[in-house]
Amino acid sequence: MLNRESWKDLPIPDYRAPLVFRGGHGATLGIHFFKKSSVKYTLRLRLDTPDGDFFFTDMVPGNDGKIVVLLHGLEGNSQRPYIMGMAQVAMGRGWGVAAMNFRSCDGQLNSRARFYHSGETGDLEVLLNHLTEKMGFNRVVLVGFSLGGNVLLKYLGEKGESLHPAIEFGMAISVPVDLSSSSDQIESLQNRLYLRRFLKSLKGKVRQKMEIHPDEIDWERGLRARTFREFDEFITAPLHGFEGAADYYRKSSSLFFLDRIAVPSVLLSAKNDSFLSNSCYPAVRDNSMLRTIFPKHGGHVGFPHWPVSKQTYPELILSYLLSLADDRDSTH
């Protein structure tokens, strides 16, 4: 377990981007196209939720009570290269892996009309309770990317001092901690291709939901959405009990929960991440448990080294922190 008293002074390696990956888009796309990671999950866990729905988590459980829980980004899943890269690091350090698939993200449509969203922490709680109470894991590390990073930081802040003692530290990468301004940011010209790709995927699910739950909401308004804010106004908010997009962003942004995080945590985001607004790089001065790392380069969920087959910067940090946690644990 990491030492909480010395956490704020713990040296963390710097990131130096290779010249070829100093552009934000190059780092973002390069890591997805060129980095190859392969993990063979040995267990698929189906968990039922209190509202009568379900989600799946892909696992390599290990056998010594240590588990790294991985949370993917928007429309991602347990098979994404950035998830499998972190899984390889964890397994290489002797930790088990639980790669959560948010509802509808594993190729199987969930039962309820609702999906998942950036502030949904209830399903993470279901998974963590199962891992600790049913499967006996007593050492847990949480890692989240982008949307999953926001879920992770919000969860840690919500729990505060009441967080389950098995959770040792958290790590969040490329996080839109301010959802409202990030929603505006992704509408910029440089992000139009990303926006179209995400909306196409989300609208595909909307069409499926329309057939099963035709009277739940006015689905057609969501299909006409041209921005995230419009999609969240017409789909995300009414499906998940928010008054509108503004209410959803205000209640779900992890920015407003950071000061309550009570376990060693890292927020890593690159300054040239085209998805993030200026407010996604907060100065957290009053919470010694949260370390912010904002290097100049890295892109969105990128941070490659050269050659690309080498570990990314987030993978290096995770490996480093797991080794420290195990070394300290072995001395007690």
CATH code assigned at 21: 3.40.50.1820
Both 168 and 64 in a single domain?
Answer: yes
- Secondary structure class of 266 (helix, strand, coil): strand
181: its two tokens? 């301004």
What are 76-124's pLDDT values in tens digits?
Answer: 999 999 999 999 999 999 999 999 999 999 989 999 999 999 999 999 9
Planar angle of CA 145, 324, 45, nearest 5 degrees: 45
- How much is the pLDDT for 303? 93
Residues of the chain with pLDDT under 70: 30-35, 328-332
Active site members: 146, 273, 300
Q: How far is CA 87 from CA 34, 59, 92, 322, 330, in A?
A: 17, 9, 8, 12, 22
According to the model, what pLDDT value does residue 18 have? 81
Cβ atoms of 152 and 142 closer than 8 Å: yes
Domain count across the chain: 2
192 and 138 in a common domain: no
Map residue 173 onto helix, strand or coil.
strand
Burial per residue of 294-320, b for 16 or more beta-carbon CB atoms within 10 angstroms, e otherwise:
bbebbbbbbbbbeebeebbbbbbbbbb
Examine the fold and report which residue of 210, 225, 252 is the final residue of a domain before the chain moves on: 252
Q: Is 119 exposed, middle or buried (0-12, 13-18, 19+ CB in 10 A)?
A: buried
**Considering the domain boundaries, does residue 332 fall inside one?**
no
Task: Look up the pTM and report it.
Answer: 0.95
Q: What is the pLDDT of residue 332?
A: 45
Distances from the Cα of 41 to the Cα of 62, 90, 97, 98, angstroms: 11, 13, 9, 9
Residue 2 lies in a domain: no
Which domain does 239 fall in, by range? 179-252
**The residue type at 175:** V
Clarify whether residues 204 and 82 are in a common domain.
no
- pLDDT given for residue 32 in this prediction: 66
Quick one: pLDDT at residue 34? 65
Q: Of the residues 252, 282, 309, which one is the last residue of a structural domain?
A: 252
Pair 116, 214 in one domain: no
Q: What pLDDT is recorded for position 329?
A: 58
**Domain termination site, one of 252, 273, 293:** 252
